[in-house]
Structure 1
Amino acid sequence: MKNNITLIGMPGSGKSTVGVVLAKRLGRRFVDSDLVIQDRHGKLLHELITEYGVEGFWQIESDVNASLDLENSIIATGGSACYEPEGMQHLREISTVVYLKLPYEEVEKRLGDLNARGVTLQPGQTLRDLYDERTPLYKKYADLIIDCSGKMLRDVVAEIAEKYKKRS
């Protein structure tokens, strides 16, 4: 049953913020997969990335996403969830996947210290490289794409709620 909504997109695209407000609006539970990862492993995201490396972290993230057994929930994923097909396939099976799309310039403006945020950058990789690499993956897995550029939070939430209702 696809009565969950999963939010995907770049770090800083508003997945957690939109997720909390959307959950309140629709009367659903909010789950942040990054917090589930931290809770299960007892470490912060950047500590896990340091300990296991970028690919190791992606596997942890995928395992957590693939294990989510939820109903009536709004799920905010980490920005790197798109790299592991197993986790993404499970999320597609249990939810409508919504890509919160932002232009690169807005992502860059919103993000502070990438390491403190737990952003998985390969050595020598820039934020632009990351954006260009992930954008096609987000599009590939998305059931709905919401252009968030220049929009107020309430407008993004209203658009998701409306489009989700039409699909249900």
Structure 2
Amino acid sequence: MKNIALIGMPGSGKTTFGKGLARVLCCPFVDADDYLEKKEGQTIQSFFAESEKAFRDAEERTIRDLSRMEGIVIATGGGVIKRKANVDRLHEGGLIIFLDRLPEDIVTDVEVEKRPLLREGPDRVFALYKERIALYREAADITVANRGREEEVLENLVEALKEQG
């Protein structure tokens, strides 16, 4: 099985649905942010305290590692699409699914204090969505809307994968 990488905004459900998809497909799940922190021995917050570039460099190393693995479901960081090298590697390793969740749903539902790029408040979520939406759509092999109940969204993900073959 090829890898399945989930992309989308912070708070779009990549980790939640990545775990669910891995359970349904009986394969390993890897959260790219957790992998990065363990491998680099540094928290995402500490990378961002240094600079966003320091974090993006570490993220690129992480994606290189994960893309070399086989048969895993990967929940990527929200900004993974900011570097073409990441998108290219994820495509080489398998399929990219964009979990499209509306910014208004994210701001009403996500603890933004825990998300480095969302701490500035709701306006930042809308600005990031506007800035990144075209990149997400361009990178994705499949787009699945994260609207409605969790079970429905997971069913839609599985169905989209079946259609993809």
Same fold (TM over 0.5): yes
Q: 5+ residue gaps in structure 2?
A: none
Taking structure 1 as reference, are residues 109 and 120 closer, same or farther at Cα in structure 2, changes over 3 Å only? closer
The two structures have a TM-score, normalised by structure 1, of 0.89
Quote the offset at 1:120 in angstroms: 7.2
Q: Aligned partners of 1:70 and 1:160: how far apart in 2?
A: 21
* Bigger fraction of residues in helix: 2
Structure 2 residue 12 is the aligned partner of structure 1 residue 29: no
Deviations 1:117-160 (A, max 9, x none): 233789xx8222111101111001000000112x2112111111
How many pairs are equivalent? Answer: 162
Matching residue of 1:88: 87
Q: Partner of 2:150 in structure 1?
A: 153
The 8 Å contact of residues 112 and 119 in structure 2, kept in 1 or not, is answered as no
> Which residue type is aligned with residue 32 of structure 1?
D
CA contact (8 A) 1:37 1:60 kept: yes
What pairs up with 1:17-166 in 2 under 5 angstroms? 17-51=16-50, 53-68=51-66, 69-114=68-113, 116-119=114-117, 126-149=124-147, 151-166=148-163
What CA distance in whole angstroms lies between the structure 2 residues aligned with 1:79 and 1:159?
21
Identity score, percent: 29
Which amino acid counterpart does residue 153 of structure 1 have in structure 2? E
TM-score (normalised: structure 2): 0.90
Instruction: Quote how far apart the aligned CAs of 1:93 are.
Output: 1.1
